[in-house]
Structure 1
Amino acid sequence: MKLRTLTSSVAVVLAMACSSGEARSLMDLIPSPYQQGSRSEQHESRQSSLSQSEALSLYSTRQQQNSFDDCADKFPQNRPISMASVSPKMKPMALCSDNFAVLYSQTSKTPMVVVERLNSALLRDAKGEERTNAFYPDPRIPKGARAELSDYRGSNLDRGHQSPAADAPDQKAMAQSFALSNMIPQDPNNNRKIWSKVEKDVRKYAQRVDGNVFVFTGPLYDQGFQTIGENKVWVPTRLFKLVYDEKTQRAWAYVLSNGNTPIQKPMDYDSFVKLTGLQLLGNLPVSGSVGRVTSI
């Protein structure tokens, strides 16, 4: 796969593609901005975890397979990301849950992309669902290729949801959202303030429009990124959230540093692709500009 070099300092290359078109990810050199703190540790005692047998029981037989067959509907036009097009260096896995799909990396021990299909009916069901806070290592991923609870302990970083718990329409989906395969190591201020605001804005938009809104969320790793824990879980330097309104064909994205950074105005899809190299929508029609969605 031909890769476009953005700077001579790039050290991390993640090559991905949608089944409908090529996608590339090259990350610019940006110093890791996340800050240390104790808030993650303060919440540890108030959180529970599931045993591996309890966790495995959350997933159907089909969801226990390395395939997107059971969650193709979470992708626009039922067209999942092609596993064959992902760089083998990332050791990818396809993981299905009731409410989201995860393109997971056994190298970074984090998701590469998490995809959701949101709409007003689903979010009405999600409103008021009790948050479980029962984190657990994903039993579908082999030991040594996944994050463990111990990797986050002492890191002063949150286990940051990529598919938010607040998007879960029922208790089973809520429980599945706490798998570490849906988490990245995230700065607490970013996770609980800045990124939380982004998630709420996306929900508000999906609640008031007709039809489905597809959301792609994931980490970006620039040169000099750090790792945590015995399993060396990668700590992203930036996060992205790409939103695609299926009915209006509008698309926009947020790309924010993994730190206590101001929320920036969402960018249009072309700018997102140019900045990240991720052409996640493939050949889907895209119209609309950032100026039409700044009200979210």
Structure 2
Amino acid sequence: MTTAKNKKTPARKRSAASRKSALFSFSRTKRFAISCATTALASFQIASCGFNPGWSADKLINQALAALHLPALDAFRKNGWPHLPGNSTSGASHSPSVGGTVARSPAQAGGQTSRFSHCTQFFPGGQAPALQLQTHERELCFSSFAVLHNGLTKTPVFVVERLNRSTLQQGQGLERSDKFYADARLPRAERSELDDYKRSGYSRGHMAPAADMSTPEAMAQSFSLANMVPQNQVHNGGAWSQVEQATRKYALRAKGDVYVFTGPVFARNAPTIGPGKVAVPSHIFKLVYDASTGQSWVHWQANSADTRMDSPISYEEFTRRTGMPLLSSIRAPRA
């Protein structure tokens, strides 16, 4: 009896060791599979946003992990994945470059005010207006403009640029890229897609015009759908084009920087286009502020075929209509 028991004991030990080995092997396999899937997803997102070279690697990987319903990158770092970007314990990490930053997540946005900390250069006085951010609003920085994006309408709230003679002359003769793309920095549920505009009858209307761009990179970025609203085709190529040209002509002869805010205005129960239900604005505005003179004015146009270029409205009237004090960071502008 004693001999029989002694013979079974090593077998149980071997069985336990085998199970432990199998579990360890499964864990290694699982980690390897997760690593491959994460790398593939991150690579896909990088390729899909080739026009935005300044993306943070951490954010790309975290988006890939989220798509797999896995913990964020920091959770894996705690478990000893030493070769992922930013896992070094010595030396300061680099800041995200302009052209690839996106602000807080929707859960964090409520109750905070806009800051645009990575691209304040586009705002008068180097300071963004103190607007209360809504739950689905995100700040996007590009190389030549900034966007406050709304994930419910799937359009900008506004787009802001800083124009002057030097930048506009630098961009003269620049080839138009015409390569529209969905902005993968935004969650899929909050962004417009190319399919939303197909057969909709509406143009993909630039808020920051391609003709304002001064570099090939800025030109490419201006075709992000985060910079677009559904615009009446006749209006886009007619009266609105005249507004854009008049704004550039003014900036070319201005003594200094001219700041331009452009954005949509929506009626109650606004119509939508596409599977993603992108909201169609009833009006589009362009607020122009000359920092050297303190003067400002606002082009306010209906998004319709019969719109004609008309006299602009005052900044005061604009804030009354929209409730957006976009120049609140500076002294009251002159009309």
Normalising by structure 2, we get a TM-score of 0.68
Is residue 58 from structure 1 mapped to residue 51 from structure 2 by the alignment? yes
Q: Contact 1:251–1:286 at 8 Å: present in 2 too?
A: no
Indicate the percent of aligned positions where both proteins have the same amino acid.
Answer: 40
Aligned AA (1:185): P
Q: 2:172 aligns with which of 109, 118, 127?
A: 127
- The Cα RMSD (Å) is 1.5
| Runs of 4+ more than 6 Å apart | none
Give a deviation string over 1:92-137, Cα, whole Å, max 9, x none: 1110000000000111111111000000000001111100110000
Q: d(CA) in 2 for partners of 1:98 and 1:156?
A: 30
* CA apart distance, 1:58: 2.7
CA distance in 2: counterparts of 1:227 and 1:221, whole angstroms: 11
Distance in 2 between residues matched to 1:284 and 1:92, nearest whole Å: 23
Q: Does 1:187 align with 2:235?
A: no
**Which digits, 9 at most, give the CA deviation of each residue in 1:120-167, with x for residues without a partner?**
000001111100110000011111210000000010100000000001
- Distance, in Å, in 1 between the alignment partners of 2:314 and 2:189 is 38
Q: How does 1:150-165 map to 2 (within 5 A)?
A: 150-165=195-210
Residues 1:273 and 2:273 are matched in the alignment: no
Higher-Rg member (1/2): 2
* Equivalent residue number for residue 263 of structure 2: 218
Q: Unaligned stretches of 5+ in structure 1?
A: 1-50, 290-296
* 1:73 pairs with 2:121: yes
Do the aligned partners of 2:319 and 2:325 also contact (CA within 8 Å) in 1?
yes
Residue pair 1:250, 1:286 contacting (<8 A) in 2 also: no
Kindly provide the amino acid, as one letter, of the partner of residue 237 in structure 1.
Answer: S
- Where 1:69 maps in the other structure, the secondary structure is coil
Q: Does 1 or 2 have the higher relative contact order (CA < 8 Å, sep 6+)?
A: 1
For the residue of structure 2 that corresponds to 1:103, the secondary structure is strand
- Equivalent AA in structure 1 for residue 328 of structure 2: G
Flag the structure with higher helix content.
2
**TM-score of the two chains, using structure 1 as the length reference:** 0.76
Native 8 Å contact 1:111 1:183 kept in 2:
yes
Equivalent-residue separation in structure 1 for 2:173 and 2:214 (angstroms): 9
Moved more, 63-72 or 181-190: 63-72
> Is contact 2:129–2:327 with CA below 8 Å preserved after alignment?
no
> 1:284 and 2:327 equivalent?
no
Aligned length, in residue pairs: 236
Q: What are structure 2's unaligned runs of at least 5 residues?
A: 1-43, 57-95, 104-115
Structure 1 264/180 Cα, relative in aligned 2: closer, same or farther at 3 Å?
Answer: same
How far is 1:288 from its partner?
A: 3.5
DSSP 3-state at the match of 1:144: helix
